[in-house]
Amino acid sequence: MGYDLSTFQLTMAKDTFFRKKATINAGGRLIDLSSAKVMGIINLTPDSFFAGSRKQGIDAAVKQAGKMLVEGATFVDLGAYSSRPGADDVSMQEETDRLIPVVEAIVSAYPDAILSIDTFRAKVAGAGISAGAHIINDISGGQLDEDMFTTVARLQVPYILMHMKGNPRTMNKIAEYEDVYTEVYDYFVEKYHRLRMLGVHDVIIDPGFGFAKKREHSYALMARLQDFNVLQLPILAGVSRKTMIYGLLGITADEALNGTTALNTIALTKGANILRVHDVKEAVEAVRIWEMCR
């Protein structure tokens, strides 16, 4: 690629504590991430893994967004393509048709809401931003659509860069690593360098808990989450009701709220700046208690 990766890593490592990026610009508003924020999940799909997150129809989605905002969510993340393991493919047109009317309705009902679009497709992301959203959340880190990075650069919006291998239908079959932390770290370094060269200013990293990762991989990443701070970028932790919790405890996703709160609190102690969750009230309470302890 024409750059020295090791030099880039060393450059990023200098003065990490003082230089970690603490703000993002979302629609002209500066969001301070030095105090952890909560992102609420709304799935506009019939088959997302946690039934409680599925909101079919515009009115149900708008009502849920309002509830999350009242409970203290800073961001609302809208997804119209299920990324659960083995999920069926959805056409770009169907994803767009599910998503855009909801974005427009939430923007109309709650003009100050900061909306994130959960998609790996550049055209869907662009349509979401045009409809009034502010952030692009890409589970594939640009790997499933070669136009994603240039689209983010053109739109100049914050970009959530997640680590995943393969796609939702294949990721569990290729969840193999010699050293999961090092592989994810190197992935972030390479991807962020490309984004920075394109002029993207606001990048948030997400280790992708449960995406092409066995349970032990996800917990290994959580154990070393604080080490990603060397990248000087905000960190998003998305563990809400995932199999790494309910599979370990021998329960169901519906029963995994307590485990989610425990793991979210651990993520906060390790430097997470954003908690992406199904249950906003409980996550906001965890943040408030953690902030008081600081």
Q: Tell the residue number behind the tokens 């995943």, with chain if given.
A: 164
Catalytic residue chosen out of the listed positions 276, 281, 288, 294:
276
Q: What is the CA radius of gyration of the chain?
A: 18
Catalytic annotation present for 191: no
Q: Tell the residue number behind the tokens 């709220």, with chain if given.
A: 257
CA-wise closest residue to 238 among 34, 79, 104: 79
**Contact (CB, 8 A) for 102 and 131:** no
Catalytic annotation present for 242: yes
Alpha helices in 48-164 (DSSP H): 58-71, 92-109, 122-130, 148-155
Q: How many CB atoms lie under 10 A from the CB of residue 18?
A: 7
Distance of alpha carbon 126 from alpha carbon 171, whole angstroms: 26
- Give the pairing type, strands 159-162 and 203-206: parallel
Q: How many CB atoms lie under 10 A from the CB of residue 23?
A: 13
Q: What angle is formed at CA 258 by the lines to CA 61 and CA 294, rounded to 5 degrees?
A: 95
Which token pair is 11? 């450059």
**Contact (CB, 8 A) for 33 and 274:** yes
Catalytic residue chosen out of the listed positions 121, 154, 242, 270:
242
Q: How far apart are the first and last CA of the chain?
A: 42
Q: Which residues are catalytic?
A: 242, 276
